């Protein structure tokens, strides 16, 4: 395996981690705000806060890790994406800033309507702002003028493809988060919260598959190469679909929620990696590939070494965090403070 493929695989994996963790986080924030606004806060807030409190700052690091990693392994992305993403990137940053800080503010004024609404809504707007990058990266919206890339905002905002990606991002956030919180509430032996989240999970299951399929169809007209690559990986999407069906079935039949959660992670992993593989070798179609954009050998090797050492430090720490807060039944059930 060449270093650039190793690099992009690691980064794509971290991005996947961010997508899952952030979806849980953003969705939970939205459900929290929604339940406070419609007066059901007693059901949800407790469960949501027990999970969110210890892990919120960790989620954000996954995002920064991906960004620093991509600039380190593929420095040319800084010039290509840095120039065109000024506006969407700044908007995403502002939303993330509002969300992150208001989350912290709200945790000291639990149930504060204004703060909860602020971070709930900001959280739901971040996925669209970030997922626009995926729409841009698959090509068609960027031209190179005098050596600098230019983004065609009109084409981007009038393209059905970008809007489909936005819709999918929002639905995915709500669905992933609802499935996770169903499992978490079940662990917490909080039947009211579990039933509510289970209902949300079932509501968003069908729209999710419709939105995801819609994107593949639209790509046929937008980027035929990517579309063909996706079709060649049909089996990965088939596996993803089966996993989705199983997740929904488990939740529908109120069977093992733990299995449902892992199946959900599998479903997204297959779809996410299939998309990533189909995108290969382009970072920004058709202007930049991972081979042209790759850093020098010395930097690549030192980054890989630091990555391995870093993981050796982090994996035990993350294990400790998960053990204390996610897999400790007494903590989840609120028997420990």
User: Which of 105, 163 has the CB closer to other proteins?
Assistant: 105
- Do residues 236 and 285 touch, judged by C-beta distance below 8 A? no
Of the candidate residues 320, 327, 333, 334, the single one contacting other proteins (CB under 8 A): 320
Minimal distance, residue 253 CB to other proteins, in Å: 34
Complex with other proteins: residue 206 or 320, whichever CB lies closer: 320
Angle at Cα 114 formed by Cα 111 and Cα 120, nearest 5°? Answer: 80
Among 30, 67, 175, 282, binds other proteins (CB under 8 A): 67
Location of structure tokens 């059905």 = 160
Asked if 89 interacts with other proteins (CB under 8 A), we say: yes
Closest CA to 142 of 286, 293, 322: 286
Q: What angle do CA 11, 328, 48 make, to 5 degrees?
A: 70
Span interacting with other proteins, options 80-88, 131-139, 239-247, 253-261, rule CB under 8 A? 80-88
Tokens of 5: 């493929």
Q: Please identify, using beta-carbon distances, which residue of 111 and 160 lies nearer to other proteins.
A: 111
b/e per residue, 269-293, with b = 16+ CB within 10 A? bbbbbbbbebbeebbbbebbbbeeb
Distance CA 337, CA 333 (A): 10
- Residues 6 or more apart whose CB falls under 8 angstroms from that of 80 comprise 142, 149, 283, 284, 287, 288, 293
Report if residue 308 touches other proteins, rule: CB under 8 A. Answer: no
Nearest to 289 by CA among 2, 37, 55: 2
Among 17, 54, 139, 207, binds other proteins (CB under 8 A): 54
Closer by beta carbon to other proteins, 68 or else 203 = 68
Using CA atoms, how far apart are residues 318 and 311, in angstroms rounded to an integer?
A: 10
Candidate ranges 77-85, 130-138, 190-198, 219-227; the one touching other proteins (CB under 8 A): 77-85
Does residue number 103 form part of the binding site for other proteins (CB under 8 A)? Answer: yes
Least distance (Å) between residue 78 CB and other proteins: 4
Single residue of 7, 27, 72, 120 touching other proteins by CB under 8 A: 72
- Position of tokens 């469960």? 47
Q: Which is nearer to other proteins, 27 or 69 (CB)?
A: 69
Site string for other proteins, 136-165 (x = CB under 8 A): ------------x-----------------
Six-digit token pair at 224? 């035929």
Q: Which residues bind other proteins (CB under 8 A)?
A: 53-58, 60-61, 63-65, 67-69, 71-76, 78-79, 81-83, 85-87, 89-90, 93-94, 96-98, 100-105, 108-109, 148, 295-296, 298-299, 302-303, 306-307, 310, 313-314, 317-318, 320-321, 324-325, 331, 336-337
């Amino acid at each position: 395996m060449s270093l650039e493929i190793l690099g992009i695989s690691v980064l794509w994996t971290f991005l996947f981690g961010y997508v899952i963790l952030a979806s849980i986080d953003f969705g939970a924030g939205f459900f929290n705000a929604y339940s406070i606004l419609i007066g059901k806060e007693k059901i949800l807030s407790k469960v949501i806060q027990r999970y969110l409190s210890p892990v919120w700052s960790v989620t954000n690091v996954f995002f920064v890790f991906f960004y620093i990693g991509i600039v380190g392994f593929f420095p040319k992305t800084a010039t290509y994406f840095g120039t065109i993403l000024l506006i969407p990137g700044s908007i995403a940053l502002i939303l993330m800033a509002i969300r992150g800080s208001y989350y912290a503010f709200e945790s000291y004024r639990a149930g504060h309507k204004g703060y909860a609404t602020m971070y709930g809504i900001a959280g739901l707007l971040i996925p669209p702002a970030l997922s626009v990058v995926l729409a841009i990266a698959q090509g068609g919206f960027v031209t190179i003028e005098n050596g600098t890339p230019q983004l065609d905002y009109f084409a981007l905002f009038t393209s059905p493809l970008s809007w489909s990606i936005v819709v999918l991002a929002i639905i995915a956030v709500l669905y992933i988060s609802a499935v996770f919180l169903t499992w978490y509430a079940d662990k917490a032996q909080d039947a009211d919260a579990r039933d509510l989240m289970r209902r949300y999970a079932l509501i968003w299951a069908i729209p999710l598959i419709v939105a995801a399929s819609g994107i593949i169809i639209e790509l046929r007209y937008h980027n035929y190469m990517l579309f063909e690559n996706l079709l060649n990986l049909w089996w990965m999407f088939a596996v993803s679909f089966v996993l989705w069906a199983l997740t929904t079935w488990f939740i529908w039949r109120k069977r093992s929620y733990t299995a449902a959660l892992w199946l959900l992670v599998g479903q997204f992993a297959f779809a996410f990696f299939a998309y990533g593989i189909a995108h290969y070798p382009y970072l920004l179609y058709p202007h930049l590939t991972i081979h042209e954009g790759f850093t020098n050998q010395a930097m690549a090797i030192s980054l890989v070494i630091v990555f391995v050492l870093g993981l050796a430090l982090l994996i035990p720490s993350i294990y400790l965090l998960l053990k204390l807060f996610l897999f400790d039944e007494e903590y989840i059930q609120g028997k420990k403070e």
